[in-house]
C-alpha cells in the first residue's frame, strides 16, 4: 500500500501534483491528494489539473484497475464531477465505514 507522488513541472515550477495509492486485491486506484496551479497551459484548452488527470487515467487504464476513487473537498467537486472528468459523487458509504469494508460487502 505504498503511496506514489507524481508532479508536472514546467520551467522549474511545480504546476500540478497528486498522491495516489493502488489497492490490491480490490484492484482500484485511490487519489488521496490532488492540486493544480490555476493558470491555463494553453489559453484555449486544458489546464494543468486536467492534463495531470489525463495522465492518471491512462496510468489506471494500463494497470487495468476497476475504478478510481477520489477524495475531494466540497471546493473540488466541480472539477471532479465535470462531464470531461467522468466522476460522480459516491453517497452510499457512511463516514465511519472503511471503503475496503464497503467494497467487500457490496461489490
For residue range 47-79, list pLDDT tens digits in order.
888 888 888 999 899 989 998 988 888 888 888
Is 87 in contact with 71 (CB distance < 8 Å)?
A: no
What pTM does this model have?
Answer: 0.72
- In angstroms, the CA 39 to CA 26 distance is 36
pLDDT number for residue 71: 84
d(CA 83, CA 44): 18
CB atoms within 10 A of CB 53: 25
Higher-confidence position of 105 and 70: 70
Amino acid at each position: 500500500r505504498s503511496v506514489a507522488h507524481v508532479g508536472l513541472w514546467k520551467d522549474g515550477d511545480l504546476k500540478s501534483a497528486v498522491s495516489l495509492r493502488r489497492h490490491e486485491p480490490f484492484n482500484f486506484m485511490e487519489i488521496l491528494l490532488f492540486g493544480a496551479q490555476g493558470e491555463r497551459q494553453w489559453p484555449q484548452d486544458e489546464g494543468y489539473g486536467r492534463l495531470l488527470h489525463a495522465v492518471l487515467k491512462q496510468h489506471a487504464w494500463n494497470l487495468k484497475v476497476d475504478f478510481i476513487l477520489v477524495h475531494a473537498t466540497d471546493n473540488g467537486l466541480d472539477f471532479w464531477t465535470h462531464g470531461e472528468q467522468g466522476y460522480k459523487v459516491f453517497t452510499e458509504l457512511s463516514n465511519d465505514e472503511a471503503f475496503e469494508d464497503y467494497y467487500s460487502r457490496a461489490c
